[in-house]
Amino acid sequence: MRKTTAILLSVLAVMAMVSCDKEETLPENPDQGTETPENPGTDNPDEEVDGPTIAWDSNSSFGKVNIDDNLNAVLDITAPAGIKSLTVTVDSDQLEKILTGMGITSPELDLINDQKVIGFLSEVAPSLPAGDKLLDKTEVEFDITELVKMINGVTDEESDHSFIVNVTDKNDKNDEKTCTFHRVAEPAAAPTVVWTANSSGETMSIDGSLDARLAITAEAGIKSVVLAIDESLMDVLQVASQSLDITGDQTVISRLKAVLGEDFPAGENLVGKTEAVLDLALLAEMMVKAGEHSVTVTVTDNEGQTSEALVCKFLREYSGYVYPDIQWPGNPGFSPMDLDENLSVVLSIKSEAMLKSVILTVPQSLASILESKGISGSVDLVNDTEAFGWLSEISDGAILTGDALRYKKDTELDITSLVAQLSSIENLSGTQHFYLKVTDYNGMEFQFPQPLSFNPVVKSALSVTWPGNEDFEDVTTSAGAPMSIHIDSPAGIKGFTIAITSQTDFVNKYIPACTSNGTNVLDLINDKDVLFTNLVDSFGIEMLLGDEIVGKTELDFSFDGLINGFCNSFGGAKSGDRHTCVVNVEDNDGNTQEVTCTFITE
């Protein structure tokens, strides 16, 4: 319609130029002297002559009529005394603009005397009588149909346009009628969907070069875009229906954006747009099952018009089915591993199609823990949503679950933190077995013939004894009193601290001052307490420190230097002063032992 309007305006402009260039002027009455008027008017002043009338046979009530192919705008004008003047007043914003462009500045058109109007009408509505075809006539067929239909050429909007016809006879009697016409807005073109790179509608192979961009046009604006998918794609996308409203269904929109990314055109990226591009390439990649797939796209606009459904066909080709593969790079032979601090269970999973399920069956010892949390002992890491929260909690998000696994073909699965849960089980004995089974969307299933096996590490016993004082009673610092403790640590000593509390002010002052932590706790192994080490050296006190302790499986530790040397000799302890040493020993298996040794100055 816009092109039609532009063409019409161009024609009218040319016509206006032609009209304005005409030099000759029509006589006021070209018929004068050549034709006798049909009615002599008032030759007999005593005879009453009827005034003029305007009739519209097809619309006698002069009601509003639509401008369409059936338009009949023929008026019958009678004037027994003869027409003296006839004007048409145009009440139409669009037509008034056209008239102004033609140099006709008044909306009231004088069809008998205004030569510019008469010339204009002779070009655009030649069947409409004007000038001498009206003057003095007693009967005229006044057909404004062509003039009215011009409205369709200058606007496509819903609008009303009126023509006020006024006729006056030679007795100065007149009649006036208003003819109102309604421009019915042309409906917007129905939406269209075109596969730009595949207009012939061929079945296209799903590969890295697939161009699946669809061009959508909707003059009235897009209201909805619905994708009808096949069951296999429905299964992969994990949606509840084969009909996906990607403009109005927020659940569908959220799901597609979660799977295909935020850039997938859906929701507000489509609604209300008159033009849009819908790229189905990412969706096609989700069609992992071998064979032919289809997506039918239907667009509805804001006027309720629906596009012709576009069926997009895709083909997933395979030369042969390939089973998924599971590897344990850190343990290629899947040999049993110890449940210790070196534990690492990072598996490599490869699949030609995306993963439909990854089922991990845990040993019975661990299954009871899972069941207490409402989780099955055979956990589907792709689909068991009830387990996702707990698995994320124990692994700090390291264990992949749900969509993070489903849409992968080559991924690592780190289940170290799950296997490590076995270490928290008391009295765990015997080799513990995990089983892993992977199924892809081609229906190919792989379960490694060997389980993932783990052996509990038996912790060695750690003991601290006080030879000569088995009950750890208080002892005096007299000659011959037992001043040494004995440590048995088959796993090797890892940590050794002494928290000393004394009634000697000197000790209570200098011990915190000589430890980096500012407390009375002496760390005899770590270098952080070098101040105390320097203090010991400066006083010439004999005491085992650092490498003399760490890693030892057996150790006799004497308190003589600390109590008799530091507290009594240098600290100035008085008779009866108590010195309490809380000893804490840790081995490399994580076992700890704490004892309290109390000495009294003699």
Nearest to 579 by CA among 524, 496, 538, 522: 522
CB atoms within 10 A of CB 449: 6
Residue 528 pLDDT more than 60? no
Q: How sure is the predictor about 589, in pLDDT bands with cuts at 50, 70 and 90?
A: confident
pLDDT of residue 163: 94
Q: Hey, what are 150's tokens?
A: 């011009």
Strands (E), 62-106: 65-66, 74-78, 83-91
pLDDT of residue 95: 84
Average pLDDT score over residue span 483-504: 92
CATH number for 37: 2.60.40.10
Q: Which residue has the higher pLDDT, 51 or 100?
A: 51
Give the DSSP letter string of 148-216. HHHHHHH--SSEEEEEEEEEEETTS-EEEEEEEEEEPPPPPPPPEEEEGGGTT---EE-STT---EEEE
496 sits in which H/E element: strand 493-502
Q: Which residues pair with 346 in a beta bridge?
A: 414
Same structural domain, 434 and 340: yes
292 with 315: CB under 8 angstroms?
yes
Same structural domain, 155 and 6: yes
pLDDT of residue 527: 55
Same structural domain, 159 and 308: no
pLDDT of residue 422: 94
Residue 34 pLDDT more than 60? no
Same structural domain, 227 and 178: no
389 with 421: CB under 8 angstroms?
no
Q: Hey, what are 454's tokens?
A: 């783990």
Same structural domain, 203 and 280: yes
Angle between the 145-154 and 93-101 helix axes, to the nearest 10 degrees? 90
486 with 465: CB under 8 angstroms?
yes
Residue 515 pLDDT more than 80? no
CATH number for 264: 2.60.40
Classify 507 as helix, strand or coil: helix
Residue range of the domain that includes 63 = 2-183
200 with 313: CB under 8 angstroms?
no
Same structural domain, 127 and 29: yes
Same structural domain, 178 and 266: no
169 with 146: CB under 8 angstroms?
no
How do residues 125-155 score in pLDDT, each as one tens digit? Answer: 888 999 999 999 999 999 999 888 888 888 8
Residue 244 pLDDT more than 60? yes
Same structural domain, 279 and 398: no
| Structural domain count of the chain | 4
Average pLDDT score over residue span 177-193: 91
Average pLDDT score over residue span 206-228: 94
Same structural domain, 236 and 349: no
Residue 584 pLDDT more than 50? yes
Q: What are phi and psi of 398, to 5 degrees?
A: -75, -25
At residue 340, what is the residue type?
A: D
Q: How sure is the predictor about 33, in pLDDT bands with cuts at 50, 70 and 90?
A: very low
Q: What are phi and psi of 181, to 5 degrees?
A: -125, 140
Using CA atoms, how far apart are residues 31 and 402, in angstroms rounded to an integer? 95
Computed over every residue of the chain, the mean pLDDT equals: 87
Q: What is the 3-state secondary structure (H, E, C) of 239-287?
A: CCCCEEECCCCHHHHHHHHHHHCCCCCCHHHCCCCCEEEEECHHHHHCC
Same structural domain, 179 and 253: no
Residue 582 pLDDT more than 80? yes
How do residues 418-461 score in pLDDT, each as one tens digit? Answer: 999 998 888 888 999 999 999 988 888 898 778 999 999 876 78
Lowest mean pLDDT among 80-84, 198-202, 368-372, 566-570: 566-570
Using CA atoms, how far apart are residues 401 and 333, in angstroms rounded to an integer? 26
Residue after which a domain boundary falls, among 166, 183, 200: 183
Q: What is the 3-state secondary structure (H, E, C) of 388-451?
A: HHHHHHHHCCCCCCCHHHHCCCEEEEECHHHHHHHHHCCCCCCCEEEEEEEEECCCCEEECCCC
Same structural domain, 171 and 130: yes
Same structural domain, 244 and 292: yes
Residue after which a domain boundary falls, among 408, 425, 455: 455
Residue 531 pLDDT more than 70? no
pLDDT of residue 31: 44
Q: How sure is the predictor about 161, in pLDDT bands with cuts at 50, 70 and 90?
A: very high
pLDDT of residue 417: 95
CB atoms within 10 A of CB 251: 12
Say how many CA atoms lie within 13 Å of 160 toward its Cβ: 7
Residue after which a domain boundary falls, among 316, 341, 367: 316
Using CA atoms, how far apart are residues 423 and 286, in angstroms rounded to an integer? 40
